Structure 1
Amino acid sequence: MEIQTPDRQVRLAVDLVNTRTLEPEQLTTPGDVRAFLLEHGESEPITLDENDLAAVHAVRERIRPVFHADPAEAARLLNELLAEYAVRPYLSDHDGSPWHLHVAKPGASWADWLAATTALGLASFAAGHGFKALGSCAAVDCERVYVNPAERRPRKFCTPTCASRTRVANYRARRP
C-alpha cells in the first residue's frame, strides 16, 4: 500500500468509481478487488474478504459525488475523506519494497488506503486544474466519470465513443 504519483492516484479514483456504472458491477468478489489493485500497480500480498469488499464499495460511493458536485461541495467531500483517512505522509520500506510514501494510517485496510489515496489524488488534481476538470459523462446512457487536465479543451463525455453515440442520436432525433 504505497502512495502513488498524483496521476496514478487520480486514475485509481476514476477507475474505482467506474467499476459501478450502468454497466454490470465489476467488483463482485474480494478477488475482483484484488485484481483491481494489482492492475493499478499494487503488489502482493493482497488479502481481502467479504468485509473488505463491502468497505471498498462504501469508499467508492463516497468518492462518486465528488465528480458531480459544485466546487465547494466537492472540496467539502474531499476534506472529509482526508480528515477521516489520511495522515501526515511518511516513508516506509515494508515487506522488502523500496522506500515509498504512505498517506494512510499504518495498518490501514485496503478500503481505508483507497479512501486516503484517491482523496489526496483528487484534491491535488482539483487544486492544480480546478474542479471543472472533474466530470461525469453527458451521455444519457452512461454514468462514467473522468478527469480532464486540458484547460482549453472542455470535455463533456468520458470517451469519444460516448460523444459520437450522442451526436448520432441527436442527429437522428432531428431528422423528419
Structure 2
Amino acid sequence: MVFAHDTAGALRSAVELVNGVEPPVTLATEADLAAFYRRHGYTGRRDGTETELAEVLALAPRLLTLLLAARDDVAPIVNAMLAEAGAVPRLVRHEHEDWHLHAIADDAPLADRIAVETALAMIDVVRSGESSRLGVCADDDCAGVVLDLSRNRSRRYCSTACTNRNAQAAHRARATGSSPRPR
C-alpha cells in the first residue's frame, strides 16, 4: 500500500470530485452528492441542500490546482487550506474504520471537511515523495486527473472510458496498419 487508507481515500474522493464537474459531469445534483458522500465513507454533517452542493462544486477548481501542483508548490496551498479551516489534527476511530486523522469538526460544512482531508492527504503525498502518483489523463481529449495507486505506476487514464477509447483506437490503428493518434 502506497498510502494509509485515509490518505488514499481522501485522494480518491478529491479526484472524483474534480473529474465529476467536467464533461461527462457526474456530480451535478444533490442525489449525486449524497451518493458521493456514501461512496467515500464520509461521516458527520450532511445538509443535503443546494447550498451544500454549490459549496462542494465550488471547491473543485481549488482541489484541481492542489492535486496537480508541483511538489514544492503544494505547501502554501495546503497551509492556507488548513489555516482557513482552523484545522487541528486529531486521531479518531469509527465503527467501521480504524484509526485515522481528522482535523476539522464533524459538524463543519462538507466542503470544508473535503478541503481539509485533501490537504492532509497531500501532506502525505509530498512527505513520501509520491507526487508522480497524480497527473493528467493521457487521453488527448481529456483533462481529467489520474490518481495512480498501482504498484507499478502504470495507470495513465482517469477512467475506464478513457482507457477503453484509447485501447480501441490503438487496436484500429494496428488493424489498418496506421499509427494511432499522435500524443
8 Å CA contact retained: 1:22, 1:141 = no
Structure 1 residue 73 displacement after superposition? 2.5
Q: Deviations over 1:131-152 (max 9, x none)?
A: 2221010212112212224576
Is residue 2:65 matched to residue 1:62? no
Corresponding letter in the other structure for 2:21: R
TM-score (norm 1): 0.75
8 Å CA contact retained: 1:137, 1:157 = yes
Structure 1 residue 167 displacement after superposition? 4.3
**1:1-176 → structure 2 map (5 Å cutoff):** 5-23=6-24, 25-43=25-43, 46-85=46-85, 87-90=87-90, 101-105=101-105, 107-149=107-149, 153=153, 155-159=155-159, 160-161=163-164, 163-164=166-167, 167=170, 171-173=179-181
Counterpart CA distance in 1 for 2:48 and 2:15 is 21
Corresponding letter in the other structure for 1:171: S
8 Å CA contact retained: 2:146, 2:156 = no
Give secondary structure in 2 for the equivalent of 1:34.
helix
* Uncovered stretches (5+) of structure 2, i.e. residues with no partner: none
Give secondary structure in 2 for the equivalent of 1:18.
helix
Counterpart CA distance in 2 for 1:67 and 1:166 is 29
8 Å CA contact retained: 1:7, 1:121 = yes
Q: Aligned pairs, how many?
A: 169
* Uncovered stretches (5+) of structure 1, i.e. residues with no partner: none
Corresponding letter in the other structure for 2:111: A
Corresponding letter in the other structure for 1:13: A
8 Å CA contact retained: 1:137, 1:158 = yes
TM-score (norm 2): 0.73
Change in 2 beyond 3 A, CA 1:99/1:72: closer
Percent of aligned pairs with the same amino acid: 28
Corresponding letter in the other structure for 1:161: N
